[in-house]
Amino acid sequence: MRKKIVAGNWKMNCDLSQTEYLLSQIKQQKLSSNTTVIVSPPFTNLYNTFESLKETAITVAAQNMHQAANGAYTGEISAAMLKSIGVNTVIIGHSERRAYFGETNELLSQKVTTALEANMTIIFCFGEELDDRRANDHFNLVKQQLQEGLFHVSKNSWDQIILAYEPVWAIGTGETASPEQAQEMHAFIRNTIAENYSQSIADGVSILYGGSVKPSNAAEIFEKPDVDGGLIGGASLNAEDFAAIVNAF
Ligand code: PGA
């Protein structure tokens, strides 16, 4: 059975005291033990978040990492640095990284390779923009993102990969893909993995949906057969909302 996962992407929110407050609130929530829970604070709060949550079942993920092992890359963070503070999971390819920081499929494929070499778990994000959907090109676009960014990985690496389909037009906009639209794309993604790898790999990978998931819509999205959870932005900054989404299966 593939895992149910809810991951909170805090993005560039929460300074130190806000992080401590949010963590204390999260620790007061009752979180279903059937769901793998991940939180992803900014780099400056990864270490204290890891320390704060290490007695809990919650996993801490970084929002990004550099593709090189180390070196003269001012301002960047390596996989080894993350691992040295206990962080073994990283989000790669978020649409905001693609849109605002020029991250291409080619670059993301290098980050994927580096993360896997470091034995990290990857939450690999992808998804079409509104123009792609209007042009009915969303399936092609998603397939291309997977082929160019991810499908160089070996069969053995798939147990370290979580997918997050996030239609860009639904991120932070209040606009959600309908549960049917999410299911249609998730089934397509699973099928594409089966074609490129195997049915058992496709059946084993968790595919999260992301884009304006809230307590009010999580259950209807998560009940779709190919939706295995969510990558949550805005609603993950409120502990009660986040817990309600974790418990929405
Ligand atoms: P949102 O963000 O839930 O605020 O739409 C999702 C994401 O970008 O991961």
Q: What is the pLDDT of residue 201?
A: 98
Res 174: pLDDT: 85
- Which among 130, 171, 208, 238 is the best mutation to test ligand 1's pocket, defined by most ligand atoms within 8 Å of the CB? 171
* Confidence (pLDDT) at 176: 86
Yes or no: say if 93 and 124 are a contact pair by the CB < 8 Å rule. yes
Residue 63: partners with Cβ closer than 8 Å, 6 or more residues away: 9, 10, 11, 40, 42, 43, 90, 91, 94
Task: Examine the residue annotation and report whether 166 is marked as an active-site residue of this protein.
Answer: yes
Predicted structure pTM score: 0.98
Residue 118: the pLDDT is 98
Coil/strand/helix, residue 204:
helix
For the CA of 213, the nearest atom of ligand 1: 3
Distance 230 CA to ligand 1 centre (A): 9
pLDDT in tens, 115-168: 999 999 999 999 999 999 999 999 999 999 999 999 999 999 999 999 999 999
Residue in this structure with the two tokens 């929460």, named with its chain if needed: 14
Structure confidence at residue 223 (pLDDT) = 97
CB atoms under 10 Å from CB of 100, counted, come to: 9
What residue owns the CA closest to ligand 1's atom 9? Answer: 233
Please identify every stretch of the chain with a pLDDT value under 70, giving residue numbers as ranges: none
Ligand 1 center to residue 72 CA distance, Å?
A: 32
Residue 175 has a pLDDT of 83
Task: Assess whether 223 carries a catalytic annotation.
Answer: no
Instruction: Name the phi and psi angles at 19, rounded to 5.
Output: -65, -45
